[in-house]
């Protein structure tokens, strides 16, 4: 009997309450692992600090002048974009962590337990969302210290919620990579190839009007641009509706396509 047919009845006979209980237990297990290995939070702690200081104090003067507001104006522009960046960059961690679990034998232990396979995936996503929210909190603390003015708290919360929704959809992509690629280094390399053009070919760090026409066409369809622009509108004012809906459509579409793929690949491998 194949692994798929063996796993399917296990999931089928576990009620929803059982799936929720298993997911909660696995979330606790992953959080305890972070507690025992606090170095795993260094990226969530240091990345928002380093990127904020780098872009504000190295590029903020020149880009701010182009925006007409100087460095202070650039702070108001870039911080909402960096919330979008956090949602994409930290999503990669779910794939590398998943790959490490396979290579360390943790998944062999899960295979021997009568738990729903989907619980393992949902627990991973939940914990990575917690890491992302922690990084966003650090980002906002640094942002205030460098001069960001929070005038709309509800808008800030809405921007963080939108980023979390988009991040959860991207995590299904990296979960799939964590299953199909052989090691965490491969997941990181593939993630870099995906993340780098999406982040810098967007409106996260600079307006797109001065970009070449072909690159502007790319940024128009780049979900990170719509996420950054929606967050910017929610937090500092400006158009919101179009970018908000486009980002939500991207999130639903990516989840609808990649979640079944990730679950299927995980079941066939375990």
pLDDT in tens, 70-106: 888 899 999 999 999 988 888 888 888 888 877 776 7
Q: Is the pLDDT of residue 233 over 70?
A: yes
Q: Tell me the domain boundaries of the chain.
A: 3-269
Q: How far apart are CA 53 and CA 172, in angstroms?
A: 30
Q: How far apart are CA 68 and CA 61, in angstroms?
A: 10
pLDDT in tens, 209-224: 888 888 888 888 899 9
142-179 b/e with 16+ CB inside 10 Å = b? bbeebebeeeeeebbebbbebbbbbbbbbbbbbbbbbb
The full length of the chain comes to 270
Say what the alpha-carbon torsion angle 129, 121, 180, 189 is, to the nearest 10 degrees. 10
The residue behind tokens 């939500």 is 248
Counting residues of the chain whose pLDDT is more than 70, the rounded percentage is 88
Question: What tokens were used for 72?
Answer: 């202070």
The answer to whether 197 and 129 have CB atoms below 8 angstroms apart is no
Q: What is the mean pLDDT of residues 148-162?
A: 93
Q: How far apart are CA 233 and CA 247, in angstroms?
A: 13
Q: How far apart are CA 150 and CA 171, in angstroms?
A: 29
């Amino acid at each position: 009997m194949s692994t798929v047919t063996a796993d399917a009845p296990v999931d089928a006979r576990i009620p929803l309450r059982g799936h929720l209980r298993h997911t909660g237990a696995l979330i606790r297990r992953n959080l305890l692992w972070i507690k025992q290995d606090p170095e795993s939070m260094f990226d969530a702690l240091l990345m928002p600090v380093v990127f904020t200081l780098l872009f504000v104090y190295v590029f903020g003067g020149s880009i701010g002048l182009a925006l007409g507001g100087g460095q202070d104006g650039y702070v108001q522009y870039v911080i909402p974009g960096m919330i979008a960046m956090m949602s994409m960059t930290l999503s990669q961690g779910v794939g590398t962590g998943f790959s490490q679990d396979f290579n360390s034998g943790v998944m062999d232990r899960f295979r021997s337990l009568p738990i729903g396979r989907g619980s393992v995936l949902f627990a991973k996503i939940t914990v990575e969302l917690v890491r992302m929210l922690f990084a966003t909190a650090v980002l906002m603390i640094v942002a205030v210290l460098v001069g960001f003015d929070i005038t709309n708290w509800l808008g800030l919360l809405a921007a963080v919620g939108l980023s979390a929704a988009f991040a959860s959809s991207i995590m299904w992509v990296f979960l799939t990579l964590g299953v199909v690629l052989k090691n965490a280094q491969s997941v990181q390399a593939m993630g870099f190839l995906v993340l780098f053009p999406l982040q810098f070919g967007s409106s996260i760090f600079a307006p797109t009007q001065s970009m070449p026409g072909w690159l502007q066409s790319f940024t128009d369809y780049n979900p990170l641009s719509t996420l950054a622009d929606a967050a910017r509108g929610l937090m500092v004012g400006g158009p919101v509706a179009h970018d908000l809906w486009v980002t939500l459509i991207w999130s639903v579409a990516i989840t609808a396509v990649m979640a079944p793929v990730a679950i299927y690949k995980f079941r066939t491998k375990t």
